[in-house]
Structure 1
Amino acid sequence: MPAEELTDALQSLHGRISTLLVRLDAPGKQARLTELENQAASPDLWSDQAAAQQVMRELSTLREELEPWLSVERRARDTLELVELAALEDDQTILGEAERELGQLTREVDELEFKLRLNGPYDRSDAIMTITVGLGGVDAQDWTQMLMRMYLRWGERHRYQTEILDLAEGEEAGYKSVTITLRGQYAYGYLKGERGNHRLVRLSPFDQAHRRQTSFARVEVMPDVGEAAPIDVRDEDVEFEAYRSGGPGGQNVNKVSTAVRLRHKPTGMVVTAQTERSQLQNRENAMRLLKSRLVEMELEKREGELAQLRGEHIDASFGTQIRSYVLHPYTMVKDLRTEYETSDVNGVLDGDLDAFVEAYLAWSVGREQVNAA
């Protein structure tokens, strides 16, 4: 790329970054970051443990948000200055390196700009996901397990920490339900579009005649709000029950009642946790799950109210089919909302979901803009 063209491209990119930094309110967030750093350096910070933890959480979040943007702005500015000097000396080696850096910076800015779409109140939160078997018998239980693996593999690709909170095994194969957590920045924002029914069409490995079988599983996604939950759950509103956990089979069944079931009396909501060895840990996990479900229920309520104001129809059954995975007679995964599709079924089932996530976020932003017009 000629030096003049490279300079123009870098100037354009730097201008784009500057505009996005204004949209991000980088000056205001930088001022808040400085304020928090001063608080963190105070010797009296840890006199109030709860307040100190809040300061450190906010400090960490702001650093994670700002540093990538400040880094690309700094690199774009430095590369532009380097190109201007290299152009004077006609240094083709430096110009070639600058062109490669331009390509890398453009990809990073595209990714950072995409993340600006994740501006919901809980989009930065960790995610809790529950997958529940639907129609389809043993095949549906196996499908539930396949979906769990798909999302765990997706989490690994993004270097998220994953954990199984609750697991109910099927009689012959697979799972009746499973609850997992994915911990990492924007986990909920990325996964919130996975809510709904997922449909699998394949030749059944459990049918002696090997006939084609359609199976369903429902996915629920909630922000893992933890102690920061804006909902107060009173002790008297929660009914507690301990029971023995474990799947079918003798020695794997616990001999003591470590599994926990909580029922929220005002809503009738029931949650369970049984994968930890102690009842206390399972109870803490169950309470986390209950708070997250209540937050998600409130989010769905607000979404429904806004949709009614916009004149949209919302399926109150939460049973809307969102995606179809076909393994026979052809191979295709298709999102029924965005119309995005791919024939790489094996890749998707191995966790390659980013294209579907990005298509959903672009679709949801476009829908909001149309409705706001």
Structure 2
Amino acid sequence: MNDLEKRLAALQIDLDNTWQKLQINQKIENLKNLEIQISEPEIWQNPEHAKKVNTNFSRLKAEVEPWQVLKIQASDLYDIIALKEIDLLDEINDQLFSMEQTLLELKKALRFTNPLDEKNAILRITAGVGGTEAMDWASMLERMYLRYFEKNHFNVELIERTAGEEAGIKTAVYEIYGNHPYGNLKSEHGVHRLVRLSPFNADNLRQTSFSLVEILPILESDDDYKIDEKDLRIDTYHAGGHGGQSVNTTNSAIRITHLPTNTVVAIQNERSQLQNREKAMEILRGKLIMMQQEQQAESINQLRAGESAKWGQQIRNYVLQPYKLVKDTRTKYEETDADAVLNGRIEGFLNAYLESQIGS
């Protein structure tokens, strides 16, 4: 067996082992079932359900297809090597190297061991105390994540956004769809701290600002996570219009309080009351399951009062003055090009966190 044959055999073993660990055969079956559902005309009688099925189909297809292609390529390369054509050696070597690199990239999926990792995600950004300065920082984070989503082909849907009076945002809520959205983004959950010369300070003094970023898995129904109705207080109120310029004449806004934990979720994005309730329940389910994991509780009934993400020690520092540095307090990963990070280049932080969690 020559060197190329040995490398291809090793790649095939690695491919088969990873294929099995990631349950690719089961995912292929799931993909076929989703395709059948999409082909049935009745599904489009419920547009919201059809959209979710179609989104899950696209996500799963994007995940499975590269594995199928690589398996076919490995089989074809076996046949080519068997011909022992000397004039094809350089071409075979290049193709084999490309396949090895592809497998290394695909194996990153092994970092997603939590069943929630494949779920779509909710991104919620909330400005901390500090008025306009803090709200501007929240909008900078919003821009950073939107740039990252755009570059990495995530689908994004704005759920709610409240602008600040002078600049920035008070809060923004987005739903994120794509390849392992929650798994990829869970490292961002926590408090983000900015140090810079304030553009809103007449003396141009150095200012520290905080924003809370919440990354929550989307659990679309009570089948995913059952919440007892008696534990909920649901209030309705008039929703503000775009940018707070007008007020609805109907009580379409929803505020849901989970009484045992005092967890509150409010949505007022000018949809119907029913749609606002569904979105609020999605966020609430995400918050509660995050609390359950953080508190290592066996069930929802064991949760203690508290927020899913706390206004405590920051997870990441963004320093723009007197030097430039972005550093994660958990992994110690850092980058000196703070402008690039704030422009959406956060892959290094995401990967460092995922790598730190392997085997933990």
Q: TM-score range by the shorter chain?
A: 0.7 to 0.9
Q: Distance in 1 between matches of 2:146 and 2:35?
A: 39
**4+ long deviations beyond 6 Å:** 37-43, 52-62
Q: Deviations over 1:67-111 (max 9, x none)?
A: 3323212212322432443xx3322xx434333333332232122
Q: Distance in 2 between matches of 1:187 and 1:41?
A: 22
Q: Percent identity?
A: 37
Structure 1 pair 203–100 and aligned structure 2 pair: CA distance change class (3 A) = farther
Q: Distance in 1 between matches of 2:35 and 2:153?
A: 31
Q: Distance in 2 between matches of 1:353 and 1:179?
A: 19
Match of 2:305 in 1: none
Deviation at 1:216, TM superposition (A): 0.9
**Alignment match of 1:166 (pick from 155, 160, 171):** 160
- Report whether the alignment pairs 1:269 with 2:267: no
**Alignment match of 1:75 (pick from 73, 76, 100):** 73
Q: Distance in 2 between matches of 1:184 and 1:302?
A: 28
Q: Distance in 2 between matches of 1:59 and 1:151?
A: 24
Q: Distance in 2 between matches of 1:260 and 1:55?
A: 26
- Identify which range, 94-103 or 114-123, moves more after superposition: 94-103
Matching of residues 1-373 of structure 1 within 5 Å: 4-26=2-24, 36=33, 65-85=63-83, 88-91=84-87, 94-227=88-221, 228-234=223-229, 237-246=232-241, 252-257=245-250, 258-302=252-296, 317=310, 319-366=312-359, 368=360
| Structure 2 counterpart SS, 1:321 | coil
Structure 1 pair 10–319 and aligned structure 2 pair: CA distance change class (3 A) = same
Deviation at 1:26, TM superposition (A): 4.5
Deviation at 1:262, TM superposition (A): 2.3
Deviation at 1:35, TM superposition (A): 8.9
Q: Deviations over 1:235-271 (max 9, x none)?
A: 772322222314766xx32343443322233332211
Q: Which amino acid aligns with 1:70?
A: Q
Structure 1 pair 294–57 and aligned structure 2 pair: CA distance change class (3 A) = same
| Structure 2 counterpart SS, 1:208 | coil
Q: Deviations over 1:156-205 (max 9, x none)?
A: 22222212222232232111222211112310011111111111111111
8 Å contact 2:254–2:276 — kept in the other structure? yes
| Structure 2 counterpart SS, 1:337 | coil
| Structure 2 counterpart SS, 1:156 | helix
Q: Deviations over 1:334-371 (max 9, x none)?
A: 111111111121221122211111110111125x1xxx
Structure 1 pair 192–326 and aligned structure 2 pair: CA distance change class (3 A) = same
Long gaps (5+) in structure 1: 306-314, 369-373
Structure 1 pair 320–121 and aligned structure 2 pair: CA distance change class (3 A) = farther
Structure 1 pair 35–161 and aligned structure 2 pair: CA distance change class (3 A) = closer
Q: Which amino acid aligns with 1:207?
A: N
Q: Distance in 2 between matches of 1:41 and 1:222?
A: 27
8 Å contact 1:134–1:215 — kept in the other structure? yes
Deviation at 1:20, TM superposition (A): 1.6
Deviation at 1:56, TM superposition (A): 8.8
Q: How many residues align?
A: 345
Deviation at 1:302, TM superposition (A): 1.8
Long gaps (5+) in structure 2: 300-307
Structure 1 pair 253–106 and aligned structure 2 pair: CA distance change class (3 A) = farther
Q: Which amino acid aligns with 1:201?
A: V
Q: Deviations over 1:273-302 (max 9, x none)?
A: 223444443233222222222222222222
8 Å contact 1:164–1:275 — kept in the other structure? no
Q: Distance in 1 between matches of 2:288 and 2:69?
A: 38
Structure 1 pair 202–232 and aligned structure 2 pair: CA distance change class (3 A) = same
Q: Distance in 2 between matches of 1:339 and 1:254?
A: 46
Q: Distance in 2 between matches of 1:364 and 1:159?
A: 24
| TM-score w.r.t. length of structure 2 | 0.82
Q: Distance in 2 between matches of 1:175 and 1:35?
A: 43
Q: Distance in 2 between matches of 1:61 and 1:159?
A: 11
